[in-house]
Amino acid sequence: MEWETVIGLEVHVQLSTESKLFSSAPTQFGAEPNTQANIYDLALPGVLPVLNRDALKHAVKFGLAINASISNTSIFDRKNYFYPDLPKGYQISQLDFPTVGKGSLTITLEDGEEKIIGVTRAHMEEDAGKSLHEDFHGMSGIDLNRAGTPLLEIVSEPDLRSAREAVTYLKKLHSIIRYLDISDAIMAQGSMRCDANVSIRPMGETELGTRTEIKNINSFRFVEKAINYEVQRQQDIIQDGGRIVQETRLYDAHRDETRTMRSKEVANDYRYFPEPDLLPIVIDQAFVNSIRATLPELPDAKKTRFAKEFGLNDYDASVLTNNRDMADYFECVAKSSGDAKLAANWVAGELQALLKKNNWEIKESPIQADRLATLIARIKDNTISGKIAKTVFEAMIKDSSNVDDIIEAKGLKQITDIGEIAKLVNEIIANNPEQVEQFREGKEQVLSYLVGQAMKLSRGKANPAQVNQILREKLK
Amino acid sequence: MALDKSEVEKIAHLARLHISRTEAEGVMSRITDILALIDQMQTVNTDDIEPLAHPLDALQRLRADEVTEVIHYDDLQSLAPEARDGLYLVPKVIE
Amino acid sequence: MIEKTVAEIAVALNAGDISSVELTQTYLDRITQFNGELNAYITVCADSALRQAKTADEKRAKGSNSPLLGVPLAHKDIFCTNGVTTTCGSRMLHNFVAPYDATVVEKFNDAGAVMLGKTNMDEFAMGSSNETSFFGPVKNPWDTKRVPGGSSGGSAVAVAADLCAMATGTDTGGSIRQPAAFCGITGFKPSYGRVSRWGMIAFASSLDQAGPLCKTAEDAALMTNVMAGLDKKDSTSIDKPVEDYTASLSNSLNGLKIGVPKQHFAEGLTAGVEQTIREALKEYENLGATITEIDLPNNHLSVSAYYVIAPAEASANLSRYDGVRYGYRCEDPADLEDMYKRTRSEGFGEEVKRRIMVGTYALSAGFYDAYYRKAQKIRRLIKNDFIDAFDEVDVIIGPTSPHTAFEIGTKTDPVTMYLEDIYTIAVNLAGLPGISIPAGMADGLPVGMHIVGSDFAEAKVLNVAHQFQQQTDWHQHKPTAFGKEN
């Protein structure tokens, strides 16, 4: 039987704020345990929540970016359950009245097709702390630094049909969030987390199958692997005549498998009710407009503009706009150098490779945009050849001085003096009588050999076009 | 509405309360009495009534995103029944 | 001196008739003498009180004369007090030394009041008789076989027996007003949102409100002047200017329209109380007020709605007591579940557990609409009843409680106990200001009169109460065994 996979993602994003969602404690990642938890975060008796304005702004900003409806009135609720990393015994979340309502985003599939993925809602809530399961004298240790960090939970519609699509959606979401600068969204650090709801059904069936929820997926790669594993597991069960049990499963990256989460065995009854310590949040049009005014150009718009303005092909435009810093970098190089095509080649090619090799962010690049622009300008004005430019580029990684000085100091400047090139050409003609003869007999291909010899003799500095031209003249 | 024993057990578990067998009967009957009191509400039709969550007709205030305090975490942790190396300790958590 | 009101003490301190240190020492001596019998205080802070008194005297010597400077005060043990044990009447917090001050505490500190100690209360404010305290019942000074009312029983008794000049309390369903009535003192619950809840241990967040327990409406006004005001740490604290509540105390009541709810003079009201309140109403007529009967048609549902909303909110508010970060933890837990269950079962008393169970049930899957949502709708009906009533009248007056203080151990059935608050609960559901003042005696015990105002009509309520106290001396009646100065 042919199966269709149905996936919906619940993505938790930690919103970048100085202080927590409801308390004025700091939110820094990686601090000593429990040094960032104040009396509110520890749920001491008598403490009360007050909502962080910037967290709300970030949520609204995200909503606007995915063309979602922004709720005029949103309401926080208490979600009740006991867990040692949940100090109040309830999480303040939003159930029926989330801040961000229905929206959507567009992903590009492998075949180039565009697909719209629905976002059901995005609601604000507090993060929990962490239980450290290493053995502390037979006990677990609780670190509440993370407790109360603002989260935006972005819930997609079950619109995704493969693990690959899920990853594409997730990457797009990541790109938008980074463009908006509302979260670090680093999966490895947990500032972006993904739970996947996975079910399968016979192709053509419209009813959804029983789903399982996979938690603990902490990289893009694992999203794909975990979903693929789970899809196979479900197919195996059904084909063996079994039934899928609705449950929460944990992805184990070491074993590349999902397994039942024991702590969630008993069906939870969260007993949601409106948080009486907080009042309704009313977001008026002025507030929305003030945030709309801060929205940056988003990846889709930028991609279209790059394609049009710089004449980039679809692929280059995509690669160069995935990441906002990369796009800004490219745009700067393209404008300063005056050659968008060369700029695209260099940024998407040499520069990307360099960053990848060293695991650098674009902001950490030793070759800043203005320097790369100068380098490209020197190719254009024939100061150096494209080949020599690669040598200069290598030198620029370690040498932070200006590009022209590097070219000068290394004597890499292109030879464009006709007299000098003529001298080179004469030498080559003298040293290669056999090839000269062949060319004169009509063997055109030999010319490129002779040009190559001349280039070699000049240690790459001669202008190949000029060499070519002068050779032809002399061999007439 | 009357409660049965399994419901009492379920609620006690949700609330993380231990109710012994000997207590269960008494708890059950008292809660049943309370529910009878509560059920007087059902005598009124409230179909068109908007629920009132809060006596205050006011809106949520927003707080500036600022860290405004120094956390004396050692003092706070000294309140804990069991803490070591900066961590609150609890019996092993199983995922 | 100990029989004086806060207003009178301030005059005496200013005149130099007595120092705050002397006065504080007098109260401390009385606490030593009588607290064993009355059990009004859980914690007494003798040393810090005398230090605060000394500071107050020094400030006064330098010319400061703010009204509460150097006046000895007791805080209900529901308010967090930095460095002082804060138990909330529970084993769960028997060892909890709060690392911060509640806003109310901070405000009294700033006003220069002297904190004598922390008063006994029903556990987590859940009770109407002060019998649910882990620290034992509080005794009514009018008759120590009787309850003082609850949950702010310790504060009421401390005021009634002159173990402090004034005290704080909290009122979720009548917890200031009913003990004030039983003990023959003045107890005032301001409108919801008027006094900050920061640092006040939560029972039911949408109902809890702090207020004063004291000898007179004038004292209540002085205390409310200090307690009220916007607190940005409490999202439900209202951003509305605070009036000087003493300013309008002397306003004439000529032409005042008083509504008397027929539902508050119906079945269940004891004859002695009814007669006392009817007599008191005549005083108001003498002052130029007119009395009309009003209808609060949904009042009878207030107890039902309250016993859904309050336990539901409480069931979540009390989830933080899990033995992890502070407070009680059971011995040698076998595993995590065992730690949770035994900690909470051993740390909480019967009534608290019962309410957690009821609240958990009301919120659980399948019952939310029938209970919680229904109760919120009833809450709207009750609020609407008051809105309609205040279209016709300026204040609503009736008895605070259907009867006078009852004997300890006689109300063992929870439902009977819950019906104690039949006249006061609706006021919390609607968030209104309400005061109980002594209106007379029945069978040798004080009777409380309940005066309710519209939203944020604190000044009006205090004015109406004060004018009664200008005409009568019921607020000066003292229990004989503890009332005399030694």
Query: Prior bond to C319 cis, omega within 30?
Result: no
pLDDT category at A473 given cuts 50, 70, 90 is: confident
Domain carrying residue B26: 5-43
Q: Tokens standing for A247? A: 């449950």
pLDDT computed for residue C484 by the predictor: 56
> Is residue B83 in a domain?
no
pLDDT at A466 > cutoff 90: no
Specify the DSSP class assigned to residue A100: B
Q: Tokens standing for C391? A: 């279209």
Q: Does the distance separating the beta carbons of C88 and A277 come in below 8 Å? A: no
Distance (Å) from the alpha carbon of C451 to chain A's nearest alpha carbon: 27
Backbone angles phi, psi at A446, to 5 degrees: -60, -25
Partners of chain C (3+ Cβ pairs below 8 A) = A, B
Note whether A225 and A231 are within 8 A (CB): no
In which element (H, E) is residue A472 found?
helix A464-475
Domain carrying residue C219: 6-256+392-483
CA A360/CA A366 separation, integer angstroms? 10
pLDDT computed for residue A263 by the predictor: 54
List B residues 76-95 in contact with A (Cβ-Cβ < 8 A).
76-77, 82, 84-95
> Is residue C76 in a domain?
yes
Q: Does the distance separating the beta carbons of C88 and A84 come in below 8 Å? A: no
Our measurement of the distance from residue A80's CA atom to the centroid of its chain's CA atoms, rounded to an integer in Å, reads 34
Work out the angle at residue C255's Cα, subtended by the Cα atoms of residues C251 and C256, and round it to the nearest 5 degrees: 70
pLDDT at A459 > cutoff 90: no
Q: Which of B64, B76, B93 sits opposite A53 (nearest CB)?
A: B64
Q: Tokens standing for A161? A: 């049909």
Q: Does the distance separating the beta carbons of A43 and C325 come in below 8 Å? A: yes
> Is residue C373 in a domain?
no
pLDDT tens-place string over residues C54-89 = 999 999 999 998 999 999 999 999 999 999 999 999
C-alpha distances out from residue A150 to A33, A45, A65, A172, C439, Å: 18, 22, 19, 21, 53
Interface check B71 vs C, CB under 8 A? no
Note whether A320 and A352 are within 8 A (CB): no
List C residues 296-315 in contact with B (Cβ-Cβ < 8 A).
298, 300-301, 303-305, 307-308, 315
Q: Which residue of B has its CA nearest to C372?
A: B51
pLDDT computed for residue A309 by the predictor: 92
Note whether C89 and C98 are within 8 A (CB): no
> How would you write chain C as a 3-class SS string?
CCCCCHHHHHHHHHHCCCCHHHHHHHHHHHHHHHHHHHCCEEEECHHHHHHHHHHHHHHHHCCCCCCCCCCEEEEECCECECCEECCCCCHHHCCCECCCCCHHHHHHHHCCCEEEEEECCCHHHCCCCCCCCCCCCCCECCECCECCCCCCHHHHHHHHCCCCCEEEEEECCCCCHHHHHHHCCEEEECCCCCECCCCECCCCCCCCEEEEEECCHHHHHHHHHHHECCCCCCCCCCCCCCCCCCCCCCCCCCCCEEEEEHHHHCCCCCHHHHHHHHHHHHHHHHCCCEEEEECCCCHHHHHHHHHHHHHHHHHHHHHHCCCCCCCCCCCCCCCHHHHHHHHHHHHCCHHHHHHHHHHHHHHCCCCCHHHHHHHHHHHHHHHHHHHHHHHHCCEEEEECCCCCCCECCCCCCHHHHHHHHCCCHHHHHHCCCEEEEEEEEECCEEEEEEEECCCCCHHHHHHHHHHHHHHCCHHHCCCHHHHCCC
Active site residue C66: no
> Is residue C236 in a domain?
yes
Q: Which of C99, C348, C357 sits opposite B76 (nearest CB)?
A: C99
Pick the CATH number of A418-475 from 3.20.20.220, 3.30.70.260, 1.10.420.10, 1.10.10.410: 1.10.10.410
> How high is the ipTM of this complex?
0.97
CATH number at residue C188: 3.90.1300.10
pLDDT at A265 > cutoff 60: no
Note whether C178 and C420 are within 8 A (CB): yes
Q: Does the distance separating the beta carbons of A35 and B73 come in below 8 Å? A: yes
> Is residue B12 in a domain?
yes
- Report which of residues C155 and A259 the model is more confident about: C155
Q: Which residue of A has its CA nearest to B83?
A: A141
Domain count, chain C: 1
Q: Tokens standing for C190? A: 């301001």
Q: Which range, of A213-217, C96-100, C301-305, C306-310, averages the lowest pLDDT?
A: A213-217
Interface check C360 vs A, CB under 8 A? yes
The percent of residues above 70 in pLDDT, for chain C, comes to 99
Nearest to C169 by CA among C55, C28, C160, C231: C160
Q: Which residue of A has its CA nearest to C324?
A: A84
Nearest to C28 by CA among C61, C2, C65, C58: C2
pLDDT tens-place string over residues A202-216 = 999 999 999 999 998
CA A376/CA A351 separation, integer angstroms? 13
pLDDT category at A405 given cuts 50, 70, 90 is: confident
The percent of residues above 90 in pLDDT, for chain A, comes to 70
Active site residue C460: no
Q: Which of C199, C234, C319 sits opposite A90 (nearest CB)?
A: C319
> Is residue B32 in a domain?
yes
Mean pLDDT of C204-225: 98
pLDDT tens-place string over residues A154-171 = 999 999 999 999 999 999
> Is residue C349 in a domain?
no
The percent of residues above 70 in pLDDT, for chain A, comes to 99
Q: Which range, of A6-15, A337-346, C185-194, averages the lowest pLDDT?
A: A337-346
Active site residue C189: no
Catalytic annotation, pick one of C19, C20, C133, C175? C175
pLDDT at A137 > cutoff 80: no
Distance (Å) from the alpha carbon of A286 to chain C's nearest alpha carbon: 22
CA C162/CA C23 separation, integer angstroms? 11
> Is residue C275 in a domain?
no
Q: Does the distance separating the beta carbons of C336 and A46 come in below 8 Å? A: no
pLDDT category at C486 given cuts 50, 70, 90 is: very low
Stretches where chain B sits below pLDDT 70 are: 1-2, 95
Ramachandran sector of residue C51 (left: φ over 0; alpha: ψ -120 to 50; beta: rest): alpha
Interface check A282 vs C, CB under 8 A? no
Mean pLDDT of A270-297: 97
Work out the angle at residue A115's Cα, subtended by the Cα atoms of residues A113 and A118, and round it to the nearest 5 degrees: 175
CATH number at residue B29: 1.10.20
pLDDT computed for residue A301 by the predictor: 95
Nearest to C360 by CA among A272, B7, B18, A271: A271
Mean pLDDT of A438-452: 86
Work out the angle at residue C455's Cα, subtended by the Cα atoms of residues C450 and C457, and round it to the nearest 5 degrees: 65
Q: Which residues of A touch C98 (CB under 8 A)?
A: 44-46
> Is residue C185 in a domain?
yes
Which of C232, C317, C377 to mutate to probe the A interface, most A CBs <10 Å?
Answer: C317
pLDDT category at A424 given cuts 50, 70, 90 is: confident
CA C156/CA C167 separation, integer angstroms? 8
pLDDT tens-place string over residues C248-267 = 999 999 999 999 999 999 88
> Is residue C136 in a domain?
yes
pLDDT tens-place string over residues A41-67 = 999 999 999 999 999 999 999 999 999
Note whether C259 and C393 are within 8 A (CB): yes
Q: Which residues of C touch A90 (CB under 8 A)?
A: 316, 319
Q: Which residues of C touch B94 (CB under 8 A)?
A: 336
Note whether C451 and C461 are within 8 A (CB): yes
Mean pLDDT of C208-213: 98
Interface check B81 vs C, CB under 8 A? yes
Delimit the domains of chain A by residue range: 3-290, 299-409, 418-475
Q: Does the distance separating the beta carbons of B38 and C307 come in below 8 Å? A: yes
Distance (Å) from the alpha carbon of C76 to chain B's nearest alpha carbon: 21
> Is residue C90 in a domain?
yes
Nearest to C194 by CA among C223, C152, C173, C164: C223
Amino acid at C292: T
Mean pLDDT of A383-410: 86
Q: Tokens standing for A333? A: 């190089």
